[in-house]
Structure 1
């Protein structure tokens, strides 16, 4: 499905309810599988979370998680420690190109039985579940935090818990802290000190009901919309000012782009201001790389330069997001330079009209570029990809007054 967004001059002042955080939901689904006493409220309605639920309920030999990278990593650790269960964990063509070796080697250190069915270092994986014979593991710290969180989530179910030693500079710290916080929410003793993570064994927990905070990554597109609009506001629920999510840094970042965040009970209001920086200088997004596309496109729409760093994990996402951003922004008339972990956007006075944006099977490409309809009409190719994290995205844009039509 392709969609066309006709250029609009402004948006309606509305209140929208954003689905629960995909990151929190997927972590809690693993914990719920280990501890059925957990009840989850405001669970994400994303494809990724649905895939995770289906996989955890599966009794078959083959588990296909399609494009869901988080599910691939978390389920690798989960099934590896599921005594007596043997599965072939596989996914889409792109998933078979996404590295998993760091996690597999860490699990093998614990004594887990995992073999590659195809190319070394990549899915699909043949996993024979067993109880690990070690309670200590080391792995590189500058890789995707999901490898680390995958180990942390299964740690309390292990007979002696788990000590994780991180080698080198730790990146994506907020995601590790999110996992620590969720473990503590269910009564697990867990610590994260420097390069060491220590998680104690927990045989059983008391019944607990946990509410998933709405997704800050999804909120980013509305920050972009307000930044590109003319003196309008949008209210989003349900959020809190002490979030577990690293992407909550949006509130501070977008202050430079003319958007104020007003916190009230269970919601945030994004309000346009007159404060606008001349450029975004050396913004380190190593702790929140998922909002890089949104920020780059916002700056492009505002005619601002920006320099984003800490983006090395974007090379192994649904697509190579740095190259995809460069290609699509330059189609719209911009100029971009990228390295393995940086993006430099040059100021552009004009956005070209009626350009079709390719999404590369990447939900964030579709949603990051949609706000540009506040500048010029734009088309999004394979727009249905948004269902991976935010199935209601196009209907919510309609609520705000965007003119979205299938073509």
Structure 2
């Protein structure tokens, strides 16, 4: 499904949007809930990724019917859900007596899993590659693990690290995890440790060593998941590209968020956007356009929040200003190579942009080509990051349904604030 976004305007200077729970927090807590059934969750993400993870966990816990003397491994398909692939690899590694095969989409079979598999193998897990070495699909034979020391490179995706930390309380001797080199994505590691602490697990993170103590049982606990800051980023972009005085209220967010993408609050001050945390029952925030950016180029280090790089680059382009974004090396192994994808689509719109393995540089430019068809590369963030440009020019978003991966109601929410959107063949 391709969508044609006409040149639009936010219809009311005071609009309200409700965003569901953080995908990052939800997926971590779904795994913790699977290991600790006493946990109950509120405001769970309605994203495809979270639904995939929830369904696989549920189905894996159902009794299996053996039709022959040879036990066949259960087959689970995570489709495009990278978080589910990584977290479930660790989860199934400690499910004693259970044998599963985890597979995914054609793109998932190109996304590396070797670093996590090798880390788990240091704990003496049984994991085997079904097709290509280092990539899904993988066969996992669950067993009890007594080893508790693991080391891996510190600059890898934080999801590898979090996968290990989430299963650590269920290991007989806990876990001592040593990170070698300079650590990236610290907020996502801290998020995982904070969620562990919330259910009573004792942890420490000193220099490059993380220790998680075993906790085999926990008391009943209800956890409310904060709304997703990555999803909020598109609304920050919309406000930044709107007239002064535009305000959108989003719920529900915490001032002391565990999510690295909460950096939006400070980053978007550079684009004239102010954030107010409201003292109401919904824990809402109001984001308002109060002035125009005084800068011609923004230099931002996004090691701790790479998922908002696409949004920021498009915001800068829409405002006619430049940016130099660094710390983006993990974007090359996402749903697509996000740096190359950004370069391709921004160039079609008239931008002068260059990328390296971990950075993007956009030159200031005032011209935006109209009615350009934006390829989304099966990447939800490409679709949503470019959509706010409809406040400047009409634009076409290809395969727009891809937003369901993290934000299924995105297009309906845009329409609710005044965007004019029609199907485009």
Determine the structure 2 residue equivalent to 1:364: 381
Shift of 1:309: 0.1
Summarize the alignment of residues 51-200 of structure 1 with structure 2, pairs less than 5 Å apart.
51-59=52-60, 61-200=74-213
Q: Are the aligned partners of 1:4 and 1:377 in contact in 2 as well (CA < 8 Å)? A: yes
Shift of 1:11: 3.8
Determine the structure 2 residue equivalent to 1:7: 7
Determine the structure 2 residue equivalent to 1:208: 221
Determine the structure 1 residue equivalent to 2:18: 17
CA distances 1:217-247 after superposition (whole Å, capped 9, x unpaired)? 0000000000000020100000010000000
Aligned residue for 1:104, secondary structure, equals helix
Cα RMSD after superposing both structures = 0.9
Q: Whole-Å Cα distance in 2 between the matches of residues 282 and 110 of structure 1? A: 41
CA distances 1:340-375 after superposition (whole Å, capped 9, x unpaired)? 000000111111100010000000000000000000
Q: Whole-Å Cα distance in 1 between the matches of residues 177 and 225 of structure 2? A: 26
Q: Whole-Å Cα distance in 2 between the matches of residues 193 and 118 of structure 1? A: 38
Shift of 1:404: 1.1
Q: Whole-Å Cα distance in 2 between the matches of residues 184 and 364 of structure 1? A: 31
Q: Are the aligned partners of 2:17 and 2:250 in contact in 1 as well (CA < 8 Å)? A: yes
Q: Are the aligned partners of 1:174 and 1:244 in contact in 2 as well (CA < 8 Å)? A: yes
Determine the structure 1 residue equivalent to 2:273: 259
Q: Whole-Å Cα distance in 2 between the matches of residues 143 and 282 of structure 1? A: 23
User: TM-score with structure 2 length normalisation?
Assistant: 0.95
Q: Write out the 4+ residue segments of structure 1 that deviate beyond 4 Å after TM superposition.
A: none
Determine the structure 2 residue equivalent to 1:234: 248
CA distances 1:271-302 after superposition (whole Å, capped 9, x unpaired)? 00114131343311010000000000000000
Determine the structure 1 residue equivalent to 2:69: none
CA distances 1:52-105 after superposition (whole Å, capped 9, x unpaired)? 001101237101000000000000000011111100100000000000110000
Determine the structure 2 residue equivalent to 1:405: 422
Aligned residue for 2:240, secondary structure, equals helix
Q: Are the aligned partners of 1:255 and 1:275 in contact in 2 as well (CA < 8 Å)? A: no
Aligned residue for 2:270, secondary structure, equals coil
Determine the structure 1 residue equivalent to 2:31: 30
Q: Whole-Å Cα distance in 2 between the matches of residues 340 and 84 of structure 1? A: 42
- 1:318 correspondence with 2:319: no
Determine the structure 1 residue equivalent to 2:68: none
Q: Which runs of 5+ in 1 are unaligned?
A: none
Determine the structure 2 residue equivalent to 1:40: 41
